[in-house]
Amino acid sequence: MEIILFAILLSAGAGFFAYNAWKVRYNILLGQDIDRSDKKGERIKTMVLVAFGQKKMFSRPIPALLHLALYVAFVITQIELIEIAIDGLSGHHRFFYFKLGGFYTFMISFIEILSVLAFVATLAFLIRRNLLKLPRFTMKELIGWPTKDANIILIAEVVLICCIFSMNGADEVLYSRGGSHVEFAKGHFDFAISSWMGPLLFQNFSIDALHVIERIGWWGHILMVFAFLNYLPYSKHFHILLAFPNTFYSNLEQKGKFTNMESVTNEVKLMLDPNADPYAAPANPDEAPKRFGAKDVTDLTWKNLLDAYTCTECGRCSSSCPANVTGKLLSPRKIMMDTRDRLVEVGENYRKHGKGYDDGKSLIGDYITEEELWACTSCNACVQECPVNIDPLSIIVDLRRYLVMEESKIPSELTGMLTNIENNGAPWQFAQSERLNWANED
């Protein structure tokens, strides 16, 4: 019965995750195409250093070390899931114990040590968020669900770790009494933590009670893993998986280098080409003209949308943003969260009503205000600080392009400067021929 139940649970959990992963992929591919297939060697290096090695996290050492403990524990613990899956489908218990011998004891002991470090890190993160209330965790965009989301995952991590030690600790006592599922002969697993924690907590329990505790720990462990796996697509913690492709497809250009719109560039080249025919028909006369900039998420690139799903909501971008620090409305983290929320909404509408369905909303106005966009100084501090190479600035620039080039909306403070650039070739209100007059002054 347990084998059948486990097989059903495994199939349902994997199937539901695959469906949710498909929805995320579908949403991301609603974005405009962009080529990020160049410089593969540099891209792999960036992914290894930034996503796997967490290089950018260490600009703030204390949270970096705590996060590293949690991250390594999460990755290494997945090795144990291989054995749990085999045990669940075959009816065995600790399938690799006799096959690997001392190496098995070493691996489980290593996992237990990492789990203790992860437990400490989890408590530290709960304290930082809920007791110390660090400023970047109390900004208004985190009110409500985002704060609950972070706490749900942290509490689930604590429960998962308790299940691991309940399973191993009870099994340790059972094995010493000859009542383990593994082998009815007395001995010790000698796991690093459970070898002393098990007797400390469970020595006075009967064998039947220990079997119940061990089964609760075993089933609790795998149920928490399946629940966590299927919760990920609805949570900011999806970055655990998406950080790797997101860093691989990072923008490798120098920070501050803006992209030129191909349609505008081609028009300028035609204007400057004396041999060009201004009355020539377009290459694809039936093709709908592309929008200048971005009004909604489908006008952004797929990499922008991947960025939105990868956002960890850590707030490093907003805490480093000069506009945010000086009290402006802009928060780069909110830009990414709003983009993701709008993308989820658009994706659901497309799947329900058909691709291209217009619900009358847009990213600009309904989610992100013009005041937020114009508060950005384009300094790239948010891009520099992001631990997974997210680029909020590229989204902001495209949204501002739409406002300027399609809506003719621009702050009055910038109107004079742009007029001077158009007329004088410089931001200042005098002709280019007069710009160097100061050099001839006595």
**410 and 300 housed in the same domain:** yes
Is 70 exceeded by the pLDDT of residue 185? no
Q: What does the pLDDT look like over 225-234, one tens digit per residue?
A: 889 889 989 9
pLDDT band at 178 (very low <50, low <70, confident <90, very high): confident
d(CA 114, CA 367): 41
**Contact assessment for residue 360 and residue 17, using Cβ atoms and an 8 Å cutoff:** no
Question: Quick one: which H or E segment has residue 86?
Answer: helix 61-90
Please name every residue paired with 32 in a beta bridge, in sequence order, or none if there are none. Answer: 301
- The structure tokens listed for 165 are 């030690």
277 lies in some domain? no
Least confident residue range of 107-111, 233-237, 238-242, 438-442: 438-442
d(CA 168, CA 182): 12
- The structure tokens listed for 179 are 């009542």
**313 and 378 housed in the same domain:** yes
86 lies in some domain? yes
**298 and 205 housed in the same domain:** no
**204 and 321 housed in the same domain:** no
**84 and 138 housed in the same domain:** yes
Who has greater pLDDT, 271 or 280?
271
257 lies in some domain? no
pLDDT on residue 281? 64
Q: What is the DSSP string of 17-84?
A: HHHHHHHHHHHHTTSBP----S-HHHHHHHIIIIIIS-GGGGGSHHHHHHHHHHHHHHHHHHHHHHHH
Nearest to 34 by CA among 252, 296, 233, 355: 252
Least confident residue range of 8-17, 77-86, 177-186, 383-392: 177-186
355 lies in some domain? yes
Is 90 exceeded by the pLDDT of residue 398? yes
**297 and 238 housed in the same domain:** no
**What phi and psi values does residue 228 have, to the nearest 5 degrees?**
-65, -45
**112 and 188 housed in the same domain:** yes
Domain finish residue from 214, 248, 282:
248
Is 80 exceeded by the pLDDT of residue 19? yes
User: Does pTM top 0.85 for this prediction?
Assistant: yes
33 lies in some domain? yes
**20 and 166 housed in the same domain:** yes
56 lies in some domain? yes
Which CATH number do you get for residue 420? 1.10.1060
Q: How many domains does the chain contain in total? A: 2
Residues 6 or more apart whose Cβ sits within 8 Å of residue 300: 31, 32, 294, 339, 395, 398
Share of the chain above pLDDT 70, in %: 94
pLDDT on residue 417? 85
How far CA 173 is from CA of 88, 190, 195, 201, in Å, comes to 22, 11, 8, 10
pLDDT on residue 422? 81
Domain finish residue from 248, 277, 311:
248
Angle between helices 302-310 and 332-353 (to 10 degrees): 110
Greatest CA separation found in the chain?
A: 102
**72 and 158 housed in the same domain:** yes
pLDDT on residue 40? 93
**242 and 352 housed in the same domain:** no
Is 90 exceeded by the pLDDT of residue 245? yes
**363 and 308 housed in the same domain:** yes
281 lies in some domain? no
Is 80 exceeded by the pLDDT of residue 435? no
* Domain containing residue 44: 2-248
303 lies in some domain? yes
Q: What is the DSSP string of 288-328?
A: PPPPSS-SSGGGSBHHHHHHHHH-----HHHHH-HHHHTT-
Q: What does the pLDDT look like over 100-110, one tens digit per residue?
A: 878 888 988 99
Q: What is the mean pLDDT of residues 132-154?
A: 91
Please name every residue paired with 431 in a beta bridge, in sequence order, or none if there are none. Answer: none
**231 and 322 housed in the same domain:** no
pLDDT band at 142 (very low <50, low <70, confident <90, very high): very high
Q: What is the pLDDT of the chain when averaged over all its residues?
A: 88
